[in-house]
Every structure is written in structure tokens, then in C-alpha cells.
Structure 1
Amino acid sequence: MNTGRSLKVLLTSASFDRAYGGIAICVARLATELASTGVKIGLWAPDGSATRSDVLDHSDARIARLDGSLEAAMSAFGPVDVMHDNGIWLSHNHSIAKLCAKQSVPRIVSVHGMLEPWAIQHRRLKKKLAWHLYQKKDLQDALLLHSTAPTETVSLAQAGLTNEIVTIPNGTDIPDDLDLQDKPTRSGEKRKALFLSRIHPKKGLPMLLEAWAALQPENWVLEIAGPDEGGHKAEVAALIETLGLSDDVSFLGALNETETSNAYRAADMFVLPTHSENFGMVVTEALAHGLPVLTTKGAPWSELESERCGWWVPPTVEGIHMGLQQAFNASAQEHLEMGLRGRELVLRAYAWAPVAQQFLEAYNRVISTPLAGRSKGDVI
């Protein structure tokens, strides 16, 4: 229980390496934002990446980057008010649950889309066994579950979890040196659609490529950026060759922070043809850079339609084909206006400072409410 000293929070993730994707980046950014408000923050990952990750390199915030075993990290950091674990299924998540129970440490779990239907079907038998052996109980024992969107809250309930749930979106860094009105035009050059995410079957690249091949747009090229996962890049490259898209589709590889921003700035639209996302950080990143976004209804982004800043389509080849056709038929001016509306949406709803404040309120709620006074199934 916090008794007046600075709140101490230990944030954990499977990894803080940039190649691990959005979870590594959003947890690290949450850490820096909380630390800037005076919260004492520790970071730990079982692969030791908290001590070496470059996702914290540009922050002046004082953060304890912890190494070694979980027990050693907790001993080095000292007594914590809240353990905030990010992700499920892995052995270290179970170890965190057991240690928190043993030491009576309040535990919050951010599920990060790992109970979404598509994710459950991936390695389904292993997950079914883990669910019954330990994972369901570990989640039931958490004092608070965190979802990033209302759709994920529904998935948690459908999994049979009756915990209190707080819904807080991921935050986004918003470039302040961007002037969309002065974005240079590339006379004679083809316009660029950008995919930037892990190259993983969940991300739906084969659907995008098949839709692209059916349309054969003359004035567009597709750039695919992000780290390969499980050898899926080779499968995607083979499909590009089979579909005859080698002149129109290129790989940029895994990008660092500066390269990522430059890729967004050089693009004319962003595409995420995903089967399933609990949030999709790259969507807000692209919107923050003034790009109209095309993604699927596997991601919780109905705001693309309601705010008129993109296309939200069924997660099928036909759905993506329809969205691409609309995007390709839109003028550069229409794309600019969509980009401006999307950037305004991010400024209004997804900046890091208010997101971190919501987490801080959730932490304080957890440590100030006696366990006996909690009601199950509440949604904050």
C-alpha cells in the first residue's frame, strides 16, 4: 500500500527490443511518461532487454532498467505498490502471478489482444492446455485487467473473466514538426502505400497482395517495413513473385525510430490488412503523421469511418480490394484532408500525457481499494 512516498510501479514485458513490436514500444513509452510525473518506475523483461533496449534512449526520465531473474529484479527495485504485467501465456507471466500472490503485491495485467479469437486459434492446443493449467486462474487472481478498446473488453468477458476491467487506449507520440500543407509533391513519382508492422501471418499481407494484384494500380507502389517473424517474410516474398508484383512492392526491413518516422513522412497512405488487433499502435502513429489509414475490422478502428480519416473494411481479400479501390480513386487533396482529420483525432484522444494519467488513476484505485470491497465484473 502506498503511504505517501512516491508510487512505485514495476512494468514487465516479454521483451523491450524494438523487433518485439508495439507492446515493447508502448510499455516503454508508458514508463517514460509515468516517470516524468514522479512515479518511480522499474522495467523488467525475461530476456534482459530492459537494460539494452534503444526504445528508451531518447528519454531523460529516471527509470530502473532491471536485469537478471524476476526475484533478483524485484529485490533490486525494492517493495512495489503495483506490478503491471504486459502479455499472457508465457512462463514468466505465470511466475509473476505466483510471486505477486506470495508477496501480496497488487497485479494489473494488460492482455494486449492475446485473447482475441484469431490469437486464440494460433497454436490453439497449447493455449487451451495453458488456459486450464494456469492462465485462467492467473488472470482471475489479477486485481485489474486492462483492455485497449471496448472490443477487447468484450473478448475478456467472453473468455469467462469477471475481473474489474479498465479500458485505456495506447498512447502515441505526435510529431510537432509536421506541416501537412507543405508536404512536398513528387512530380512524376508513383504514390506510396506503407505497411509497417511485424511480418507475421496475423498481419494479413497475403490478403493485401492479392487485392493489390487484382487492382494493378498504375500510379502506386507498396512498401513493406518491419521485422520478419517466424520466416513469414520468405512466404510473402514468394507470393509477390508469383503475383508478378516485384516491380511494385519492396521491403524496407526493420526500421529504427528515425527511419520509422521518415517512412511515414514519405508515404501517401498507410495499410494494415490485419486479421486481428487489440489496438494497432501503427494506426495511431500513421494518423499522427497525417496519413489516411486503411485497416480491417479485425482492428477496433471504426473511428476511421466516423472521423472520415480512412477506410475500415472486412478482413478479406474482397474487403481490402474495395478499400484500396476507394483509396486509389481519392485525389491527393482528399488524402490530405483525411490526414488532417486523422491527426486531429490523435491529438484529441491518443496523446501520451492523458493516457498515462488514466493509468496513474487506475494504479491508485487498485492500491486504495481493499480487496474485500471489490466488485467483480466492473468496467472502468
Structure 2
Amino acid sequence: MKILYPIGTLYPSQQGGPSNTIYWMAKALANAGVEVTLVTTNLQAEDKVPADMWLETNYGRVIYHADRIHLLPGKMLRSVWKEMSVCDLVHLTSLFYPPSLLSAFMAKWHKKPVIWSPRGELDEKALVYSFWKKKPFLWLIRSFLKEKITFHSTSPEETRRVRTIFGQNVRVVEIPNFMELPPLVTPMASKPYLLCVGRIHPKKALENLIAALSLSTHFIQSDFSLKIAGDHKNAYGEQLKKQAAELGLSEKVEFLGLVEGEAKQELYAGAYFSILPSHTENFGNVVIESLAQGTPVIASKGTPWHILEVEKAGFWSENTPSLLATTIDKALNSSQDIYQSLRRNALALAHQHFDIKANIGAWIETYQELINNKSNG
């Protein structure tokens, strides 16, 4: 089985979530004996990998092209065309990255099956950004490609969005994001804190979280603080700092900036709860990162994380300030027996449902089925 991944950026680049997600997938597939080929650019990895030469790695055969125009990378596209003839299946990410669209047309020409991962780009609140640029992509996919594509979604809600945009009869395979789980870190002793990790953007509803904390009796009367890890040097970040000050929370809300690597794992491990209050998320890798350190999560009902309550590894809450405050108080008032049970369940949930090494078979089975269907058709 030979799988081709044309992708704009790839680990060690940290430009976007798929850089890591596809890297973890490729590594697990290669370890299982699948022939993996990745064609990418060296964006944000210029000083970390050799450019324009094929590398044999533990995550497959890969080439990082140094292309001057990221949205139209000529060298990358030439390599994709050459590799297309010898692969069995093409896996694309990002609907609105021009090389993905061009790769889909190449695959159609070569009669290769395609699986395409939108990665949340079809969410209503994501589509409104630069919609006039995205509209031609959607029209081309609807008009010429959708019958030849199997879409990949990570949740029932994303499946509904795919079918709303492209039609109820399009093929969709629903597989959650899997991750290479980090080793368990021993937390450093510190004052208790809640944690929010991720992009500082209005869709994350951090203003609702800060307002909720001002309404949380337990939070206000305790030593708990909120740590926010992410690049806050933008207009929304400044708005959040102003809000915290106006609510008298400047001493209890800390903006850490971007935190990566082992420092991020230590941050997760030391947190009492992680919180994802977003208005909407198609998945939320930060939830798995938290669970992998045994830290339970409070996630909003705008995210697909109902499983937190099913598996008793956290809480699934409305994200209005009043209801979120009620959930936070419930979480912080939990007995130590219940809290330690939440931590054990969090770790078990991460390993049983989201560990790429334990679950790569789902992808191998999906790929094989699509390849077989193409051969039989």
C-alpha cells in the first residue's frame, strides 16, 4: 500500500495543526509497513531540514521543497505529479490551499482515490473569513471533484457540515484526530491553576471564560488562577487583558504567551483543569494534550467533547458566562476522591481513544477499503 501526502507544511514546522497530525500518522503507518511518501515545503523549517532532496525517515520518504511562493509552490507540485503515478491513494489536507486543489485534479487525471481532510475549514464561523476567496474552491470541488473524493471528518458535527456544503450523498469517513501521546510528566509544585491553551482568537470565547471566572465563587475566594498560553499580542488579546482588569482579575489571569515542547507538557500536567470554552471547534487537539497528562477538561458544547462526561474525564458545558461559572464551581468543589478519579479517567481516555499507535489500524483499514473499491470499480 503506497500513500501519498501532498501537504503545505510538515513537522518540524509548527505552521498549523496538520504539520504534526500528518507527521504522527505517517510515522505510525510507516511503522506498520505502509509505504508513505510526503511532498511538502520547508516553510518554518528552513534551518531544520535539507531542502529539495529526498529523505528516508522513520515517517516515510519525504521531500521538503524550498519554494518561494507558498500558495503556488512549483517544485512541490512537480514532485506531486511525478509521485502520483506510483501511489495507490492520495490524502489531502486543507480545502483552500491551492496545491491541495491542484493535487485533487492530478489524482482525478491519474484515476487515484482521494481522501480529503477539511480540518474544520467548513465550520460556519470559519467559512465567513475571506469567503469570497473560498467560494471558487467550493464551486470547483462541487462541480468537478466531489464524486471522486472521500471526505474525512473528525466528529459527527463536521460530517454534517461536509454534507451541508457538498451534498447528502458525498462519501464521508469519520475518524477522530489521533496523536502521538507525550510521556507523562511529573508536575512541579505550584499554586493551583486552571489552564487554557491555544490560539488567542474570538472563536475561542475567552471573554466568556474570564467573565465566568468573575462569577465563580470558588475561583474568586481561592488561590486558583487562570493561565492562558498562546500568542496574545493582537487586538483580541489586548481586549481580554482590559476585560480582566475591569473585572478585578488582573492578579488572577496570567497571559503566558506561546508555550511549546516540554514546557507545555509540564503546564498541562500541573493544571487542575484545562478549559476549552470555544464557540465552535471541529475537534480540539488541546483536549487530548491535556488528557494525556491526566488533567481533566472542561469543554464547551460548541466542541464535540461530550465523551468527557461519558467517560467521567471532565465536563461538557454551555459557554455562557453564568453556566460556565456553575460548571467551574462544580469542578473546583469536587472531592479529592472524585477529582483523582477524573484524572485517572482522563489518562485512560487519551490512551484508549486517541493514541495514534493504538488506533492506526482505523486508517489502514480505511485506506485499504478505498483502494480495493477503486480496483473493483
- TM-score under structure 2 length normalisation: 0.84
Distance in 1 between the 2:144 and 2:76 partners? 17
- Residue 109 of structure 1 and its aligned partner are, at CA, apart by 0.1
Distance in 1 between the 2:93 and 2:130 partners? 20
Distance in 1 between the 2:215 and 2:264 partners? 29
- Residue 282 of structure 1 and its aligned partner are, at CA, apart by 1.2
2:318 equivalent among 314, 317, 323: 314
Post-superposition Cα deviations, 1:218-263, rounded to whole Å, max 9, x if no partner, equal 3211111134586543333333333332211112222222122111
Contact 1:83 1:107 in 2 (8 A): yes
> Does 2:64 align with 1:66?
yes
- Residue 124 of structure 1 and its aligned partner are, at CA, apart by 4.0
Distance in 2 between the 1:26 and 1:229 partners? 26
**Match for 1:9: what amino acid?**
I
Contact 1:168 1:355 in 2 (8 A): no
Contact 1:291 1:335 in 2 (8 A): no
1:240 equivalent among 227, 240, 244: 244
2:90 equivalent among 71, 83, 87: 83
**Match for 1:197: what amino acid?**
G
- Residue 213 of structure 1 and its aligned partner are, at CA, apart by 2.3
> Does 2:20 align with 1:25?
yes
Change (3 A) 1:104 1:53: farther
Q: Superposition pairs for residues 12-51 of structure 1, below 5 Å?
A: 12-16=6-10, 19-45=14-40, 48-49=43-44
1:100 equivalent among 107, 121, 124: 107
Contact 2:95 2:118 in 1 (8 A): yes
2:333 equivalent among 321, 329, 334: 329
Q: Superposition pairs for residues 116-135 of structure 1, below 5 Å?
A: 116-128=123-135, 130-132=137-139, 134-135=140-141
Distance in 1 between the 2:5 and 2:256 partners? 31
Change (3 A) 1:201 1:369: same
- Residue 16 of structure 1 and its aligned partner are, at CA, apart by 3.1
Q: 1:158 maps to what in 2?
A: 164
Distance in 2 between the 1:155 and 1:19 partners? 27
Distance in 1 between the 2:30 and 2:6 partners? 15
Q: 1:370 maps to what in 2?
A: 374
Post-superposition Cα deviations, 1:304-334, rounded to whole Å, max 9, x if no partner, equal 1111111101232233222212122224443
Tell which has more relative contact order, 1 or 2 (C-alpha 8 A, sep 6+).
1
- Residue 125 of structure 1 and its aligned partner are, at CA, apart by 4.5
- Residue 47 of structure 1 and its aligned partner are, at CA, apart by 6.0
SS in structure 2 at match of 1:20: coil
Post-superposition Cα deviations, 1:104-133, rounded to whole Å, max 9, x if no partner, equal 33211011122123223344444445423x
- Residue 52 of structure 1 and its aligned partner are, at CA, apart by 6.0
1:270 equivalent among 263, 271, 274: 274
Q: 2:302 maps to what in 1?
A: 298
Q: 1:201 maps to what in 2?
A: 202
Q: 2:290 maps to what in 1?
A: 286
Change (3 A) 1:76 1:241: farther
> Unaligned 5+ residue runs, structure 1?
1-6, 374-380
**Match for 2:195: what amino acid?**
L
SS in structure 2 at match of 1:252: strand
More displaced 10-residue stretch of structure 1: 318-327 or 117-126: 117-126
Change (3 A) 1:323 1:12: farther
> Does 2:5 align with 1:11?
yes
Distance in 2 between the 1:319 and 1:334 partners? 21
**Match for 2:35: what amino acid?**
K
Post-superposition Cα deviations, 1:288-307, rounded to whole Å, max 9, x if no partner, equal 21111001111111111111
Contact 2:215 2:322 in 1 (8 A): no
SS in structure 1 at match of 2:199: coil
Q: Superposition pairs for residues 353-368 of structure 1, below 5 Å?
A: 353-368=357-372
Q: 2:229 maps to what in 1?
A: 225
Identity over aligned pairs, percent: 26
Q: 1:4 maps to what in 2?
A: none
Post-superposition Cα deviations, 1:58-87, rounded to whole Å, max 9, x if no partner, equal x84444133143323325657222211112
Q: 1:212 maps to what in 2?
A: 213
**Match for 2:146: what amino acid?**
Q
Q: 1:168 maps to what in 2?
A: 175
Q: 1:261 maps to what in 2?
A: 265
Distance in 1 between the 2:295 and 2:14 partners? 23
Distance in 1 between the 2:122 and 2:213 partners? 30
- Residue 206 of structure 1 and its aligned partner are, at CA, apart by 1.4
SS in structure 2 at match of 1:10: strand
- TM-score under structure 1 length normalisation: 0.83
More displaced 10-residue stretch of structure 1: 90-99 or 343-352: 90-99
2:149 equivalent among 143, 165, 178: 143
Q: 1:190 maps to what in 2?
A: 191
> Unaligned 5+ residue runs, structure 2?
50-56, 68-74
**Match for 2:170: what amino acid?**
N
